[in-house]
Copies of this chain bind each other. A is one copy, B any other.
């Protein structure tokens, strides 16, 4: 098998470091004509997808359509230099665009021009991501759980679709509904009849473009349909956006959440594709690349950008081999805006609204809503609460509610671990729950498995469970704690074990430990638990069972 195209070049240490921060240095020296042709081909397809999409997402954010086009140029170049994924395609994205709209609304109401506010938001978001990348804080996105993301996405999609009903039906209800039906058919209806997934995917991208052209021509002939109008192609008007302390304070939370949601989308799709293609990506480097791309978006007067599912999937499917495909895509977008600007100006606003509604409808995942609820109450509640908070309170607040709630439910779960008495499966060395299996036990010995790390949040629960257990075993004088499922013990946990031994000593019960992991043994050592124990440390539950189970008292002698 060939080495992956982005494998590091064997080289001295300082060049390895340079390659870590500028992943472009890994693949550029190996660039061939074959790769060039593949990248060029993919870039055409992605550009066709990205032009209407980026204008539509700018409209969702409450900005003029050209902001979306601007955001699809320089950021792609920056990502090509810094990004570690070979297939990621950055640009405006539906979710973050709606979050942008909800973050900008109060500022715009306060008199700040929308484009300036959007650029400030993209700049702040980009700087936060850059900072996270340097500080290696990418793990923060891990706390956006599947159900929270799903609830947030569905809620956002509902808001987006509802917001586009007005532009869809403003000029003519008939035209709006026809546009919606035709675009839906072109996007999905037709591709269902095609056998090859690549054909279906490409048809699903190119047919809607043809429908858009047809709608534009029809609208041009019938004067009463509003169109986008003149799109200024101000690509050279780069400047560092204004961001004072007051604005930064107002935009801090939205910028943080937009950055995290965007990064989560990017890293998810990039990681999936990398694993499939046996390439590697570096999450912290992705943060840096996405952060720099957002700073670039801010400088060209665009809105926050991120990697997107459909865009990146199309890029990979169409054969892109390196991030240079993105550079070519940016080139096509600039050329299209310069040369086809008058044609783009003819696009009916209602047709773009229809595009957005179709994209939004695809984001709602009813099946996931149902399957999450069926899976378990904890996940179901997190999803539903996030969805409701998003719809009622707003996109930024929805994410915040979801993250806090899902963490609270997680902590609640860890605070009440299973504490189960185990016994030996006859004829084996395996120990299982006495309530679920027919197992052997002995009167003198109680073996208890604790199914969670021991930390301040659950020692009291474990103590109650142990009390109950010991109350049911009045004759027991040996308590074996089987720690196979205990992965960590904190200070409170260690201190609690010492106090437990002191208390049980008065009841003539010794505590033994079995199946203690190396890391946990070190913690117990440092915490003084091993020195305080009356009992012993056994390798396995079976060893403890055999060693302690010998007849010791005269009662046992026949």
Contacts and interface: CB of A to CB of B under 8 A. Distances in A.
Interface of A: 139, 142-148, 267, 271-272, 275-276, 278, 280, 283, 371-372, 374-376, 378-379, 406-407, 410-418, 429-430, 433, 436, 451-453, 455-461, 463-464, 467, 471, 484-488, 490-492, 494-495, 499, 503, 506-507, 517-519, 523, 526-528, 539-540
User: What is the count of identical protomers in the complex?
Assistant: 2
B139 A503 contact: no
A451 B378 contact: no
Given A457-B142, A503-B272, A503-B276, A372 B491 contact: yes
B145 A378 contact: no
A267 B417 CA distance: 20
B485 A484 contact: yes
Contact of A457 (B410, B455, B459, B487): B410
A456 B492 contact: no
A456 B406 contact: yes
Contacts of A418: 487, 519
Contacts of A457: 142-143, 145, 407, 410
Given A147-B491, A271-B463, 18 more contacts: A142-B456, A142-B460, A144-B456, A145-B492, A271-B460, A272-B499, A275-B463, A280-B471, A283-B460, A283-B464, A374-B526, A375-B490, A376-B490, A376-B526, A418-B487, A433-B518, A451-B517, A484-B485
A28 to B, nearest CB: 23
Contacts of A492: 145-147, 379
Contacts of A372: 491
Describe A's contact surface by its main secondary structure.
Answer: helix
Contacts of A272: 499, 503
A278 to B, nearest CB: 7
B487 A145 contact: no
B485 A485 contact: yes
A378 B490 contact: yes
Given A410-B455, A507-B278, A379 B145 contact: no
A272 B496 CA distance: 11
Contacts of A527: 375
A528 to B, nearest CB: 8
Given A278-B507, A539-B430, A413 B488 contact: yes
B503 A142 contact: no
A494 B375 contact: yes
A244 to B, nearest CB: 28
B456 A146 contact: yes
A275 B503 contact: yes
A147 B375 CA distance: 36
A416 B138 CA distance: 12
Given A374-B526, A411-B407, A506-B276, A490 B143 contact: no
Contacts of A144: 456
Nearest to A432: B518
A543 to B, nearest CB: 10
25 contacts: A139-B415, A139-B460, A142-B415, A143-B411, A143-B415, A145-B491, A146-B491, A147-B491, A267-B460, A271-B463, A280-B467, A283-B460, A371-B491, A374-B526, A375-B526, A376-B491, A378-B490, A406-B456, A407-B457, A414-B414, A414-B453, A417-B487, A429-B429, A451-B517, A451-B519
Nearest to A491: B379
B379 A430 contact: no
Nearest to A437: B518
Contacts of A410: 411, 455-457, 490
A491 B410 CA distance: 12
Nearest to A474: B1
A465 to B, nearest CB: 13
B411 A411 contact: yes
